[in-house]
Amino acid sequence: MAAAPVSAATPRELLVEAAFKTRDKTVALDRIAEAESLAGKQIVARPGDEDARLIRAMAVGYRAKLTRNRSDALSARKSFEAIAAANPRDAEAIASVGTWHLDSVIDLGAMMAGLAIGAKKATGFGLMDRAVALGGGRALYPGLAALLRLAIDPDDARGRQLAEAASVATVSAPLDRIFRNAAIAILVPLKAGDDHATQKLARELLPFGRLSG
């Protein structure tokens, strides 16, 4: 399946397209590659552009997730940690590190994620709570944190609390709307007490959760 061009899309828009709208793995990888390339060009033009650095790191992390490339996964982690260290009150940078840890646990299991790439559930939880606190009430942070927790453990009380908060949180960017809608959706099986459906839906609502191919 050939990737249709995305006209005048920014690197961030390309990653959102790949993670939440694309259903084909090859198309998603093409979007990710384009985002990484554009972000790289932005960094060359503006070496101090921290947002472009974060987007490029996200692209590498997304590629690692889809290709199971350990080198890319470790490279993404190193970049996320450096950006977060330089911007300790940047909720998105902090969430990127937290998501790296928790998404790795979801994909590989806690033991294997720890042994293979050093991902730790407790570290991820702590970072996501910090991102929520720094996030200014935006739906993105509690929504993402909720899905990550519930994808690991559908009985996670903190996950439900975060989903409830995200369902009424502020929308100021496309990702806020995506995660507020996701929070509203996940509350249905949560309130019904259906653990299997909760965990399955949480995983589907995370980036690339409905990807095939």
Q: What is the pLDDT of residues 133-162, one digit of tens each?
A: 999 999 999 999 999 999 999 999 999 999
H/E run at residue 105: helix 91-108
Strand-pairing partners, residue 21, are: none
Contact between residue 96 and residue 123 where contact means Cβ atoms under 8 Å apart: no
Rounded Cα–Cα distance for residues 166 and 181 (Å): 9
Identify whether the C-beta of residue 53 lies closer than 8 Å to the C-beta of residue 78: no
Lowest mean per-residue pLDDT among 1-10, 41-50, 111-120: 1-10
When pLDDT is cut at 50, 70 and 90, the band that residue 8 belongs to is: low
3-state secondary structure of 1: coil
- CA distance to 31, 60, 100, 108, 190, per residue, from 79 (Å): 20, 9, 11, 21, 35
Phi then psi for residue 3, to 5 deg, are -80, 125
Residues 55-108: pLDDT tens digits? 999 999 999 999 999 999 999 999 999 999 999 999 999 999 999 999 999 999
Q: What's the pLDDT score for residue 87?
A: 94
The mean of the pLDDT values for the chain is 95
pLDDT recorded at residue 204:
97
Q: CA 24, CA 185: separation in Å to the nearest integer?
A: 23
Query: Is 0.75 surpassed by the pTM of this model?
Result: yes
